[in-house]
Structure 1
Amino acid sequence: MDSNLSNLVFLLLFFLAASILILVQNRSNQKRFLARIKNSWGQIPQKEYTYEELEHIAQFFRQREKNGFYIDDITWNDLDMDRIFILINQSCSPVGAECLYNLLRKPVFEEKELKERQRLIEFFRSHQEERQKLQMLLASIRRPGNVGIFEAVHVTREVTVQGKTGQVLCLGAFLLSLLFFVLKPNPGVLVFLLVCLVNIGTYWGKKGEIDAYLTSFGCVLQLLEAQKKLEKAGIHQLKEYEEQGKQYKKQLSGFRKGAFWVTERSSTAGGGLGGLFMDYIRMMTHIDLIKFHDMMHSMQEHMTEIEGLISLFGYLESMISIASFREILPYYSLPQFLSEDRARMETEDLYHPLISHPVSNSISAQGGILVTGSNASGKSTFLKNVAINAILAQTVYTCTASSYRAPYFKVMTSMALRDDLESGESYFIVEIRSLKRILDEADRDGNLLCIIDEVLRGTNTIERIAASSEILWSICRSHVLSFAATHDIELSYILQNRYKNYHFEEEVGEDDVVFNYLLKEGRVTTRNAIRLLDMMKYDRKLTQRARRAVEHFEQEGVWENMEDSVDKCR
């Protein structure tokens, strides 16, 4: 008796010690996580992303129906928007990253939504305790392997699940055989064992259906648990979102009830003896197969609510990322949107958010802007910056400038193009397709901001200038703000009645070239290409012939034959 009592006390003390150890470990983990989110606030994110990771994050945007205007792939890639996303993203959960990416690709065209974003951003900026409480509960939504939350959930949409009649019959047979065993032990035991063997044998043919979707179910359960924690958190300023999530949770109540039969398995959760016992119960009763059918049906029926929970938590966490992003910036401003159909932009001290020590520029633009200048002088960076800030204004309600005034813009670019090897299209074909989509958008309603870098660079000089001037002339309309960069100085004369000229220039010294990256009015008047050849120690005769060729062309209007040029320089 004493020995049994001692064993019982030992077991109780063991379980008590284990519980205390687990509790201490959990609190330690929470403290470390809290310290991490405190230290990351207002800091440039250090996480690195692979191409595959970014593609998984993008699926929340790519696989959903798109209504209205969105930033297309050409514009997104031209502007290095993946890097902008990485700079902003401070998400603790995968839903935050997926929704932030989606948000950056879908500019807003109404003040009410942007004002709500500003309210949340400011709330999270000024209420550290509530912000960290939300981050802590969102951290429980974990990334499902190497895919995104939306991908893991969305994969169940097209699944066809067979009826559960056979599984219900197996459960019924088990219960009847158990009852028969209790009433008539001698013959009943044989019947009971036979039913168990049949049920276990047929179970393995269906078990794979469950294992393939455990991850999907787990994601939904994590979202529902996060909603439960949000309700307990009692953050008054998020009451609207709490109530919205509560409605989603109510619709999914049937999904959650009894879900442990499907999701808590010894093979996936390390359940020990207790988990192993529950696995045998599942095999003999098929109860998890029955519940799996109900959960899958509920999941497919309530996919809108599931996507609603992803959007809700992702949206809130996106606002936290934006609030932290603002702390990184040397200065920023809130955009002022003009209620007019005329495309124009006024911005002061505009700088590129990806450059560590940027040079700011100001501009008041309307109609067309043509930017000339040498390579590396800053043309492309400035044009990208204009487009990036138009997107940031209408997505994260933040501009990297001291002031920004403009109407709502659709933003399209044609800049960093390349040959399409998969389709076999040349650079020129890719380019004219890119320009055509801008021309088509210009024919539609709504203000358009378009950025074009080196129009038709993929063709010969004469046709390039002729066609480029016509394209730029056609694009320039009252509801279109067109920025174009070019090396063709001829365009600055041909288009001077519709395009205002700006330029970037450099200072050429004896041994180096200094770029100040300052935007100036007027067309460029300096050249540095041949001077750079001198600085790179090219053959002196080569550079002399090049200068003579330029002088001859400027005087005669035609290029001199190379043999004649070489003979004259001997």
Structure 2
Amino acid sequence: MPVPYIIAMVIVVYIAFYTVQHFRNKRHLRRYIRESFGKPPEKRRSDKLESVRKYWRACAAKFPAYRSVDENTWYDLEMDLFFDAINTTWSSVGSEVLYARLHRTDAPELEPLIQAFVEDEALRTEVAYCLHDIGKENHHRVDEFLFDPDAQKPVGYYPAQSLVPLIGMVLAIFQPAAGMIVVSLGIAWNLYTRHKYRFQVEGGIEAVRYASRAISIGKNIESLLMPTFPEETLQLKEALEPLKAVPSKMPLKMSSGDPIQMLLEYLNYALLLDFNRYNRALSYLIAAPDALQKVWEAIGHVEIALAVASLEKRTDVCIPVFHDEYSIVAQDLVHPLVKDAVPNPVDFSISTIVSGSNASGKSTYVKAIAISAITSQNLGRAFAKSFSMKRGQVLTSMAIRDNIYKGDSYFVAEIKSLKRLIDASSRGGVAYLFIDEILKGTNTVERIAASHALLRWFEQQGSLVISATHDIELTELLADRMKNIHFRETVTQERITFDYQVKSGPTRTTNAINLLRHYEFPPAITERAQALAERFLLHRSWSDEDAKSDFS
């Protein structure tokens, strides 16, 4: 058999094998997408937080502070962990816009899309398939085009350089020696250019490649959604219009073992194909940064709707009701990050003190209210059987720590954290304030005095504040001004148990000394501590006799 026929047969077999494998992979991917819906996110699809944060940090200035979740509140509520727990996105576009949306309390509604994805398996599978094609790519640098168009500029004269080797090939037909010289010089010139500009261009090529892919697949998503959701898809359609000339594909990166892609990579090196397409795409991207931002947001909103639909499938959530009364009311509220969490009611219509012993659940309860108050306003879901509130800012002062970089002690850091809440209350407007262990960085007398003054001030300002505390004295001082609720434990000789159910009124129990007993501290310590505590509760003072007495 002649050699050309053998080569042709090999090529046909390779193409047939590649085609069959391609369709098999597509079928497997669609099945995987269907099976993944309603399941927690997989670790291998996770995003690097330092990459995802870049988008929010770049666009945060566009949103007023009173409509955003500030960094202290984000840290207090462990929202990075919450983001990881709900991040079932298929692309970096979706994860970035989801992370940004969780920082906002004025995000546009996505309910029609969410319900469509809950009910229509075929639609959500095809949309997810498109988003998977965009893919995950950490540190893709597209934010440079989104928010700083001057960060990248076209460089060089690549189209002219690319023609030189081709001209040499044509010349070689008539003058082989001269043609080969021109080809060699042209390739050498191109290789020198690549070496000279590779650091400037190659990183940008990856960003342009990812942006081009998102734009191209955005058109497919628009086609899928436009018939059913013309209004929701209009932003995407309008944003894509000025970007229609952006090349749909950049030259492929080399994939080891694939001869076709290796051949394309060699042509890239010889003819600067990727540099040329990069210049062309870049010129369109930097000319329409607003359009690219809108494409990013529109694709991200579609993917957020998918993620919320998946969350609704696997978790008990509700659609919140927004009303005009300054309050938060909920039934069977849980903390979304606590496994087998105990549901509790919420009636946060007046300022409230939550008291209770160590580990009784009061801090988790306060955080659960704050988290659902945020997610109600940006995801349209609360982790409760029912949830209603008036829209407003959510601010917390909880997980305080020393800041050695700023030279702040614990107490100074706590004062600065609380000052944010004072400023928000002074501005007026609707703000929900959540405090855990107020002013615990100072002595007992000043802590209770300052805490009383601060909580009274919030109450007189008309702000709603909910504060978790160990201080029984605080519940007594503010009994006529704030509602008291508490969590309680059950103590037996064998163990201490908690039911994690919120109860009316202030706490009447403590468990610190019982916990010392539980962990087998020496009886001399626990008995002395118990005697001193009982004497203080009876006389409301410490005596010199107590301080000087020795262990019995």
TM above 0.5, yes or no, is yes
Distance 2:183 2:533 in 1: 99
Letter in 2 for 1:404: F
User: Is the 8 Å Cα contact of residues 107 and 394 (structure 1) preserved in structure 2?
Assistant: yes
| Largest Rg, 1 or 2 | 1
Give matches, 1:117-156, under 5 Å: 117-144=110-137, 146-147=138-139, 150-151=142-143
2:63 maps to which residue? 67
Displacement of 1:311 in angstroms is: 1.3
Give matches, 1:81-480, under 5 Å: 81-108=79-106, 113-114=108-109, 117-144=110-137, 146-147=138-139, 150-151=142-143, 157-159=149-151, 161=153, 164=156, 170=161, 185=175, 189=179, 192=182, 196=186, 199-200=189-190, 202-208=192-198, 209-233=200-224, 236-256=227-247, 260=250, 263-264=251-252, 271=260, 274-275=263-264, 278-279=267-268, 282=271, 289=275, 291-329=277-315, 331-340=316-325, 343-477=326-460, 479-480=462-463
Letter in 1 for 2:416: R
Letter in 1 for 2:139: V
Distance 1:462 1:20, change over 3 A: same
Distance 1:253 1:380 in 2: 52
Identical aligned residues as a percent: 27
Distance 1:402 1:496 in 2: 30
Segments of structure 2 that go 5 or more residues without pairing to the other structure are: none
Displacement of 1:15 in angstroms is: 2.1
Distance 1:267 1:155 in 2: 32
Distance 1:175 1:26 in 2: 33
User: Is the 8 Å Cα contact of residues 142 and 211 (structure 2) preserved in structure 1?
Assistant: no
Alignment pair present for 1:11 and 2:11 = no
Within the candidate set 502, 523, 526, 1:519 is matched to: 502
Superposition RMSD in Å: 3.0
Displacement of 1:454 in angstroms is: 0.7
User: Is the 8 Å Cα contact of residues 324 and 390 (structure 2) preserved in structure 1?
Assistant: yes
Secondary structure, in 3 states, of the residue corresponding to 1:433?
helix
Displacement of 1:424 in angstroms is: 2.0
Displacement of 1:102 in angstroms is: 1.3
Distance 2:204 2:526 in 1: 68
2:76 maps to which residue? 78
Letter in 2 for 1:298: Y
Displacement of 1:477 in angstroms is: 4.6
Q: String of CA shifts for 1:373-396, please: whole Å, max 9, x gaps.
A: 100111101000110111111111
1:37 maps to which residue? 33
Displacement of 1:499 in angstroms is: 0.9
Displacement of 1:130 in angstroms is: 0.5
Secondary structure, in 3 states, of the residue corresponding to 1:358?
coil
Displacement of 1:241 in angstroms is: 4.8
What TM-score do the two structures reach when normalised by structure 2? 0.89
Give matches, 1:474-553, under 5 Å: 474-477=457-460, 479-553=462-536
User: Is the 8 Å Cα contact of residues 152 and 219 (structure 1) preserved in structure 2?
Assistant: no
Q: String of CA shifts for 1:35-90, please: whole Å, max 9, x gaps.
A: 2222222122242798x812211222111133122111111111121222222221
User: Is the 8 Å Cα contact of residues 170 and 179 (structure 2) preserved in structure 1?
Assistant: no
Letter in 2 for 1:296: L
Distance 1:136 1:49, change over 3 A: closer
User: Is the 8 Å Cα contact of residues 344 and 365 (structure 1) preserved in structure 2?
Assistant: yes
Secondary structure, in 3 states, of the residue corresponding to 2:212?
helix
Within the candidate set 28, 51, 60, 1:56 is matched to: 51
What TM-score do the two structures reach when normalised by structure 1? 0.87
User: Is the 8 Å Cα contact of residues 355 and 485 (structure 2) preserved in structure 1?
Assistant: yes
Letter in 2 for 1:131: R
Distance 1:153 1:219, change over 3 A: farther
Distance 1:277 1:149 in 2: 25
Which region of structure 1 is more displaced relative to structure 2, 188-197 or 408-417? 188-197
Distance 1:14 1:238, change over 3 A: farther
Aligned residue pairs: how many? 547
Displacement of 1:277 in angstroms is: 6.1
Distance 1:27 1:187 in 2: 47
Distance 1:30 1:369 in 2: 55
Distance 1:454 1:501 in 2: 15
Letter in 1 for 2:11: F
Alignment pair present for 1:23 and 2:12 = no
Displacement of 1:351 in angstroms is: 1.5
Distance 2:147 2:461 in 1: 46
Q: String of CA shifts for 1:332-391, please: whole Å, max 9, x gaps.
A: 322111124xx2222112122222222111132223100111001111010001101111
User: Is the 8 Å Cα contact of residues 59 and 148 (structure 1) preserved in structure 2?
Assistant: no
User: Is the 8 Å Cα contact of residues 97 and 314 (structure 1) preserved in structure 2?
Assistant: yes
Distance 1:398 1:553, change over 3 A: same
Letter in 2 for 1:312: A
Letter in 2 for 1:422: Y
Distance 1:524 1:49, change over 3 A: farther
User: Is the 8 Å Cα contact of residues 95 and 149 (structure 1) preserved in structure 2?
Assistant: no
Displacement of 1:528 in angstroms is: 2.1
Distance 1:21 1:336, change over 3 A: same
Q: String of CA shifts for 1:166-190, please: whole Å, max 9, x gaps.
A: 556656877888888788x499659
User: Is the 8 Å Cα contact of residues 266 and 279 (structure 1) preserved in structure 2?
Assistant: no
Displacement of 1:526 in angstroms is: 1.4
User: Is the 8 Å Cα contact of residues 60 and 150 (structure 1) preserved in structure 2?
Assistant: no
Letter in 2 for 1:106: R
